[in-house]
């Protein structure tokens, strides 16, 4: 279930043309696009980014990047996980943030977060399916979902995998695992109750899925923290 973990290096980064396969980051971070652009498809949606965009990557989210023949220059910043921040945002003065990042990345991250305005991602059938896979807890049949919209089930599965780098079934399973992890570290709910509420077959099923996505089973996460509001710093 788990894709390869990548460590995001804070600071300025040049991204070459081509594609970066789906990968996962244990620690959260933000990416400010300062030049060029690319397409990102991941666990929170699909975005076509350009200079001035701020992407928010929270712990254990996975995504793939498609640069095509383009290249891009970005600045990776520490995560400021404010409730008002969307996964994709527009920054008022990206040049000012970029200059500040050379001296003080943390201050630049706070400035970017404070001036960011939420922006919309892509809105086609793959995005509608991804949103339902993230939000619905019932295991609705992908084939039925496709036929209800006049789409061929095989084409839906192939098209989704091509864009997101994983199958719809795997995408759904990983979304449930991340949701369970967030409940485990944010609340004191019994693990069995979380597993039942989110829709796992049983607690061992949840344990396997959470371990696959985060690298630790639920009991170890509970051993590190009883109940926190912001689990971003627990992923390291």
Model pLDDT for residues 79-95, shown as the tens digit of each residue: 987 888 999 999 989 99
DSSP string, 111-163: HHHHH-EE-----SHHHHHHHHHHH--S---HHHHHHHTT--HHHHHHHHHHH
61, 181 Cβ separation under 8 angstroms? no
Is the separation of the CB atoms in 178 and 133 below 8 Å? Answer: no
Q: Does residue 223 carry a pLDDT above 90?
A: no
Look at the pTM and tell me if it is higher than 0.75.
yes
* Residue 4: pLDDT over 80: no
Beta strands in the chain (DSSP E): 11-15, 18-24, 29-36, 38-42, 45-49, 53-57, 62-68, 72-78, 88-90, 117-118
Which pLDDT value is given to residue 43?
A: 95
* pLDDT surpassing 90 at residue 18: no
- Quote the CA–CA distance of 116 and 87 in Å, as a whole number: 11
Provide the mean pLDDT of the chain. 90
How does residue 1 score in pLDDT terms, banded at 50, 70 and 90?
Answer: very low
33-79: per-residue pLDDT in tens?
999 999 999 999 999 999 999 999 999 999 999 998 888 999 999 99
125-234 homologous superfamily:
Homeodomain-like (1.10.10.60)
Report whether 110 contacts 104 (CB < 8 A).
no
Residue 9: per-residue pLDDT: 84
Q: Whose structure tokens read 């061992």? A: 204
Q: Given CA atoms 20, 44, 88, 157 in this order, what sign does their dihedral have?
A: positive
Q: Specify the domain boundaries for CATH 2.60.120.10 within the chain.
A: 11-118
Q: How confident is the model over 94-134, as pLDDT tens digits?
A: 999 999 999 999 999 999 999 999 999 999 999 999 999 99
Q: How much is the pLDDT for 228?
A: 47
Residue 230 banded pLDDT, cuts 50, 70, 90: low
pLDDT of residue 2: 41
What is the CATH class of 11-118? mainly beta
pLDDT of res. 82:
82
Residue 226 has pLDDT above 80, yes or no: no
Give strand pairing partners of 64.
41
Domain with CATH 1.10.10.60 in the chain: 125-234
What's the pLDDT score for residue 225? Answer: 58
Instruction: State pLDDT tens for residues 154-211.
Output: 999 999 999 999 999 999 999 999 999 999 998 999 999 999 999 899 999 999 999 9
């Amino acid at each position: 279930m788990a894709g390869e973990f990548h460590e995001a290096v804070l600071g300025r980064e040049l991204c070459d043309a081509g594609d970066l396969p789906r990968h996962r980051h244990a620690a959260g971070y933000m990416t400010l696009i300062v030049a060029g652009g690319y397409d990102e498809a991941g666990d929170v949606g699909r975005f076509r980014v350009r200079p001035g965009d701020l992407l928010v990557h929270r712990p254990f989210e996975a995504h793939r990047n498609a640069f095509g023949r383009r290249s891009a220059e970005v600045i990776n910043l520490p995560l400021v996980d404010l409730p008002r921040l969307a996964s994709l945002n527009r920054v008022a003065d990206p040049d000012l943030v970029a200059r500040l990042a050379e001296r003080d990345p943390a201050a630049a991250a706070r400035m970017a977060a404070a001036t960011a305005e939420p922006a919309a991602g892509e809105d086609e059938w793959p995005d509608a399916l991804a949103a339902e896979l993230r939000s619905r807890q019932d295991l609705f049949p992908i084939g039925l979902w496709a036929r209800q919209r006049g789409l061929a089930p095989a084409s839906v599965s192939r098209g989704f995998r091509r864009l997101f780098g994983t199958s719809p079934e795997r995408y759904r399973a990983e979304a449930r695992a991340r949701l369970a992890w967030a409940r485990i570290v944010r609340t004191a709910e019994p693990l069995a109750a979380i597993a039942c509420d989110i829709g796992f077959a049983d607690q061992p099923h949840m344990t396997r899925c959470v371990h696959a996505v985060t690298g630790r089973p639920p009991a170890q996460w509970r051993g590190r923290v009883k109940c926190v509001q912001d689990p971003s710093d627990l992923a390291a």
